[in-house]
Amino acid sequence: YSRIGSSFCNTLIRYLSTYVGIDPHNSLITKVESSRSSGKSGVLGDTSFIAKDNITTKGTFTTSGSLMLSNYKSPFDATVVDLLEEAGLKLIGKANLDEFGMGSSNTNSYYGSTLNPLYENEERVPGGSSGGSAAAVAASLASFSLGTDTGGSVRLPASYCGVIGFKPSYGRISRWGVIAYAQSLDTVGILSKDVALAERVFNVLDKYDDKDPTSLPESIRTQVEKHQHLSSKSKFVIGIPQEFILEDLTAQARSQWLQVLVKLLKAGHELKPISIPSIKKLLSSYYTLATAEAASNLSRFDGARYGFNDEEVKETAYKTLTENRSKGFGPEVQRRILLGNYTLSSESGNHYLKANELRQRLVGEFNETFRFYNPLLSEYVSKSNGCDILISPTSIDPAPTIDEYKSKSKENFLTGYINDILTIPASLAGLPAISIPLPAAKQGIQLMAQYGDDKTLLQAAKSIE
Ligand code: GLN
């Protein structure tokens, strides 16, 4: 704390007790600590961690950043929490998020906005939706934190807060106990200060879980391990997708980018310009699929079985349902439910199918690009001239101020969605991706690898960190 200044420290603590450790009733950071088993020495020593508040933890509240779940206590721990505690780690708090993971700034939480600890005298967004998880690591409150990444929610906050944000391949880490936003995309991710720790945590969490129907089966895990063992190498072919080269990167970001590319060339890696044409159309595909899944997932919060229940509106079942949902969900969540229900209705034509077709085309283009075959396909064809890794910026800009972000989104809510353009390709294709900080630029650089090739991704990340 002394390094980041005492006035900053006070602000931080004020915000953390309210927002990062969000317990609407009390200070969760202490409460979690006292109600959980104490950390014992295991593979990761006595490291402490913080979990995003859409990851269920027994005995404490899990609010998902929503009034709808302000009183919700899960009767079970998420598999990820169980695995970490079995490895001797200690859960010390829950972190703020955009309500149900919907957002890119952490300004959509019912409990208020988290501040970005990188900026001492300004109120800047930490990115979203795992903004609390990224801020907690940046402020050294825990060794690492868990977030969830549906379309970039681990990588964007990592980029804004100057920490590592790793989203593994879809299905490698269990989603059991993670409150669903869009289940075909939701992935638990890890935020930390260095790649080595993220890797060690990943090794603990990378397990088949029969409670999660989308968990990657053992047979494919074994196949991937075998391939990675046979083909491991230290010099990579690194593709730069032209669709990701942004005109409006800041001068600082450009110069840091160049330094990274020069470092890679000097280390003997090969750089290769490539193209993934579908990227240009992905935002509409992502927001069609994610909102459709969200509308369906959030239908369980009806004020009767789960969630916010205003005693005053009990007159009829219809009123209970509509009024509790209108009061319990914030405006962005309501917008997504409307969009999703529209997409799923016959009136929308075939938006949903078209979005899925685009997703398939994207996966095909990635398969053509990478050297490593896609282990989910029945034919294993490796491309000797393919790329091992792709590289791009993680975010368009460094973190905006909270006021700037809010006023732009008020003018047009789509501005908030545009931020996701760089992160959703890996989400839609289920690829592993990681954001590594470029300190002088105050934003991150993103690496992506073929589905299942998480180990190569982490190895490459270590070489540029
Ligand atoms: N910003 C994106 C959205 O709001 C991604 C969120 C996420 O990954 N949870 O959908």
The CA 134 to ligand 1 mean position distance, Å, reads 15
Span 204-257, pLDDT tens digits: 999 999 999 999 999 999 988 887 766 677 899 999 999 887 777 778 778 888
**What residues does ligand 1 touch, defined as CB less than 6 Å away?**
101-104, 129, 149-153, 181, 290, 420
Q: Which atom of ligand 1 is nearest to the CA of 104?
A: 1
Test site for ligand 1: of 420, 422, 427, 435, most ligand atoms within 8 A of the Cβ: 420
Percent of the residues in the chain that have a pLDDT greater than 90, as a whole number = 67
Instruction: For ligand 1, pick from 66, 100, 129 the residue to mutate: most ligand atoms within 8 Å of CB.
Output: 129
pLDDT of residue 323: 86
pLDDT band, very low/low/confident/very high, at 42 (cuts 50, 70, 90):
low
Tell me, in angstroms, the distance from the centre of ligand 1 to residue 55's CA: 16
How much is the pLDDT for 440? 87
| Neighbour tally for 306: CB within 10 Å | 13
* 45 pLDDT tier (thresholds 50, 70, 90): low
Atom of ligand 1 nearest to the CA of 101: 9
Ligand 1 nearest atom to the CA of residue 181, by list position = 9
Q: Hey, where are the domains in the chain? A: 2-230+390-464, 231-275+369-389, 282-352
> Which residue CA neighbors atom 5 of ligand 1 most closely?
151
pLDDT per residue over 147-183, tens digit each? 999 999 999 999 999 999 999 999 999 999 999 999 9
Cα(130) to ligand 1 centroid in Å equals 9
**Residue whose structure tokens are 């609407």:** 24
pLDDT in tens, 400-431: 999 999 999 888 888 888 889 999 999 999 99
User: Which of ligand 1's atoms lies nearest the C-alpha of 424?
Assistant: 5
Q: How far is the CA of 43 from the centre of ligand 1 (A)?
A: 32
Q: Is the pLDDT of residue 41 over 60?
A: no
Q: Is the pLDDT of residue 200 over 80?
A: yes
pLDDT of amino acid 119: 95
pLDDT score for 47:
79
| Cα 227 to averaged position of ligand 1 atoms, centre (Å) | 32
Q: Token pair 């993971």 is at which residue?
A: 101
Confidence category of residue 322, pLDDT binned at 50, 70, 90? confident
Mean pLDDT (the chain, rounded): 87
Q: According to the model, what pLDDT value does residue 6 have?
A: 33
Mean pLDDT across the stretch 128-136? 96
Task: Return the pLDDT at 305.
Answer: 77
Which ligand 1 atom is nearest residue 152's CA? 8
> pLDDT band at residue 44, thresholds of 50, 70 and 90?
low
Residues acting as catalytic residues: 52, 129, 153
- Superfamily grouping for domain 2-230+390-464: Amidase signature (AS) domain (3.90.1300.10)
pLDDT at 20 over 50: no
Q: Is the pLDDT of residue 457 over 60?
A: yes
Q: How far is the CA of 54 from the centre of ligand 1 (A)?
A: 13
Residue 340 pLDDT greater than 90, yes or no:
yes
Is 303 a residue whose pLDDT tops 90? no
Q: Quick one: tokens of 437?
A: 């900080």
